[in-house]
Amino acid sequence: MADIPLFKVAMSPRATADVGEVLASGFIGQGPRNDAFEGALAKILGTPNVVTVSSATAGLHLALHMAASAAADGTRFDLARRALSGEGGEILTSPLTCTATNWPIVTQGLDLRWIDVDPGSLNISLDDLARQIGPRTRAIVLVHWAGYPVDLIALSDLLDQAEAAHGVRPVVIEDCAHAWGTTFGGRRLGLHGNVAVYSFQAIKHLTCGDGGAVVFPDAEAAERARRLRWYGMDRRTPGTVRWKQDVSEAGFKFHMNDIASAIGMANLDLAECNVKIHRDNAAYYDQALQSIDGLQLLERKEGHDSAAWVYSMRVKRRDDFIARLGIGGIEASPVHMRNDVHSCVAAYRRPLPGVDEADASMVSIPVGWWVDDAIRKHVVEVIRQGW
């Protein structure tokens, strides 16, 4: 059997012609294609408060920036103001993720505190979060690992308690880069009162080449983000003369252009279809990989409907496991390296037994739209032969 990759770019054949039209149109910046794509995302997600950006990393940077600095117009999305006024605020976050989740905290000079993970789900441990949350907590950043959602209701209860105890409700920023198509409690991520950041990078469910989207809980914050992604200027109100605009709050250049928007638009339907295949393959593995010596499946709970970007589990002797699958033509990998071991964040190290356990044993196998019935049977057969 030919090599089965862990990731594959899902590109609709339509994209080539659509991008060609943009290239020939004489307008390739942020324009009508971006408006259309943002509108389509809003329709799928079921909220108008969707703001496209150039990447999820840019989106996370923007969301943190907004949480850490008071808006000139006093919008409610300014809860971390005290972090910057010398009172030593902290961002609580998981180290078991892509560096893209955490480096925007570090590069903005904000202090972070690592939260342990639950090895049973590879998501942030709400027990450790409850222990670490305190008067200095300004924001919580979490990732929905492999698309499997964090319990956002339990998290909201925790925030209620923190707010009652400390008088500040921390902002929650959900890194949904693995989770296009995931629902929690039957609703897409981004609709649970937090800020949610999606990635449309090359190998995510939905790709623009590079791109991302930030979903805000209110229209005010979304409007602020639409200005901040383009230097702090309003590009949408008809009749606005751009060069004459006063900028009351300086912003970034984090917008998505029409080339990327056309790619995303062409891939939207494909991504929705592909998520179903990812899910179906994951359900197959959930059944077929039960009770195998040295293999532990991850948590599955009612109402947590994962988009299964990859299929993760925990195995004994992981290097042997990966080598054995390699012989069978199957790519397997831990996907991300724990972030807390990097020297640039050495100052924040603390004991994280859940991360130790997860980091030593986690592995992901191919589950995506390119995995057909013959392939998934082959994967199960190779694993069942042992390693």
Ligand X SMILES: *Cc1c(COP(=O)(O)O)cnc(C)c1O
Of 151 and 175, CB closest to ligand X: 175
Q: How far is it, in rounded angstroms, from Cα 115 to Cα 100? A: 16
How far apart (Å, rounded) are the C-alpha atoms in residues 1 and 374? 10
Q: Please, what is the minimum distance in Å from the beta carbon of residue 331 to ligand X? A: 17
Give Dmax (Cα) for the chain. 69
Nearer to ligand X, 6 or 71 (CB): 6
Residue 140 CB burial class (10 angstroms; 0-12, 13-18, ≥19): buried
Backbone conformation region of residue 276, classed left if phi is above 0, alpha if psi is from -120 to 50, else beta? alpha
* Torsion over CA: 219, 223, 226, 229 (sign): negative
Q: Which is nearer to ligand X, 55 or 267 (CB)?
A: 55
Minimum distance of ligand X from residue 176's CB (angstroms): 8
State the residue for tokens 């044993």: 361
Q: Which one, 55 or 137, has the nearer CB to ligand X?
A: 55
- Separation of alpha carbons 295 and 320, rounded Å: 13
CB of 59 to ligand X, least distance (A): 7
Nearer to ligand X, 51 or 98 (CB): 98
Q: Which CB, 254 or 387, lies closer to ligand X?
A: 254
DSSP 30-66: SSHHHHHHHHHHHHHHT-S-EEEES-HHHHHHHHHHH
Task: Confirm if 84 and 68 have CB atoms less than 8 A apart.
Answer: yes
* Least separation in angstroms between CB 61 and ligand X: 9
Q: Which is nearer to ligand X, 52 or 101 (CB)?
A: 101
Amino acid at the residue 80: A
Token readout for 314 is 């925990």
Two tokens, residue 179: 């989770």
CB-based burial label for 67 (10 Å; 0-12, 13-18, 19+): buried
Least distance CB 88 / ligand X (angstroms): 27
Our CB check for ligand X shows the closer of 33 and 144 to be 144
For the CB of residue 26, give the shortest distance to ligand X in the complex, in Å: 28
- Enter the tokens of residue 119: 């090895």
The least CB distance from residue 48 to ligand X, in Å, is 22
Site residues (vs ligand X, CB under 6 A): 55-57, 97-98, 100-101, 143, 175, 177-178, 199, 201, 212
| Smallest distance, ligand X to C-beta of residue 201, A | 4
User: For residues 292 and 289, what is the distance between their CA atoms, to the nearest angstrom?
Assistant: 6
